[in-house]
Amino acid sequence: MKSLTGPDVTRRTFLVSSSTAVAATMVPGAARGAPAAAPSMTTTALEVNGTTHRLELDTRVTLLDALREHLHLTGTKKGCDHGQCGACTVLVNGRRVNSCLTLAVMHDGDRVTTIEGLGTPSTLHPMQAAFVKHDGFQCGYCTPGQICSAVGALDELKRGVPSHVSASLATVPLVTADELRERMSGNICRCGAYSNIIEAITEVAEGKA
């Protein structure tokens, strides 16, 4: 059979030269002489769950990594790290935020509440108690983000902030299942506990929890 690599190139020499070329492209920039840029550090003060922390942080550190890696508050979860799942939701000055999408240095002086700051095992926040009562979780990975997001969603409703499904922009939206589903749509639950989550939030909204 005719060789595809030509008479002077054996299969062995072809593979050796190809792998050498690939290896050359994998040499890191630093090894090729391009020095890595020194990190830009800054001191950031975060009030987290009532305690002020002064952290010396690389300016590229996200709020999520500051919480998990620097303060060791691992209740806030990293799901996608791309703003798509809501597992990292925390409250910043009372408003819900995807902590993977915001840099810690942008929150100098801000008040951050994580799931650890909402309640304790012996004194649960009403939203935590309602999630337990209504089985609003299975594996629990999304749950800290769901609960922080639910607290923020009810606060938005109380302040009259409309959503895409609100009937009117001029009146305070009602707490309906559609409103809650829309407002919680950024929090993904791979276990599919959605209907129980809506029941839990509704109970808190109605003041029964």
Sites of contact with ligand FES (CB under 6 A): 78-81, 83-88, 98, 100, 137-143, 189-191, 193
| Least Cβ distance, residue 99 to ligand FES (angstroms) | 7
| Least Cβ distance, residue 71 to ligand FES (angstroms) | 17
| Least Cβ distance, residue 173 to ligand FES (angstroms) | 24
Residue 189 or 201 having the CB closest to ligand FES = 189
Question: Is the Cβ–Cβ distance between 87 and 78 less than 8 Å?
Answer: yes
Residue 57 or 147 having the CB closest to ligand FES = 147
User: In the block, which residue shows the tokens 């409250």?
Assistant: 91
For residue 124, count other CB atoms closer than 10 A to its CB.
17
What strands lie across the sheet with 95-98, from one edge to the other? 51-58, 41-48, 111-113, 89-92, 95-98
Q: Which residues of 69-80 are buried (b: 16+ CB within 10 A; e: fewer)?
A: ebbebebbbbbe
| Least Cβ distance, residue 204 to ligand FES (angstroms) | 18
Residue 67 or 204 having the CB closest to ligand FES = 67
Residue 135 or 158 having the CB closest to ligand FES = 135
Question: Is the Cβ–Cβ distance between 153 and 184 less than 8 Å?
Answer: yes
Residue 87 or 209 having the CB closest to ligand FES = 87
User: Angle 5-11-15 (CA atoms, 0-180°, nearest 5)?
Assistant: 105
Give the span between the Cα atoms of 193 and 150, in whole angstroms: 14
Give the span between the Cα atoms of 117 and 108, in whole angstroms: 19
Give the span between the Cα atoms of 169 and 120, in whole angstroms: 37
| Least Cβ distance, residue 165 to ligand FES (angstroms) | 22
| Least Cβ distance, residue 79 to ligand FES (angstroms) | 4
Residue 71 or 173 having the CB closest to ligand FES = 71
Give the span between the Cα atoms of 209 and 204, in whole angstroms: 5
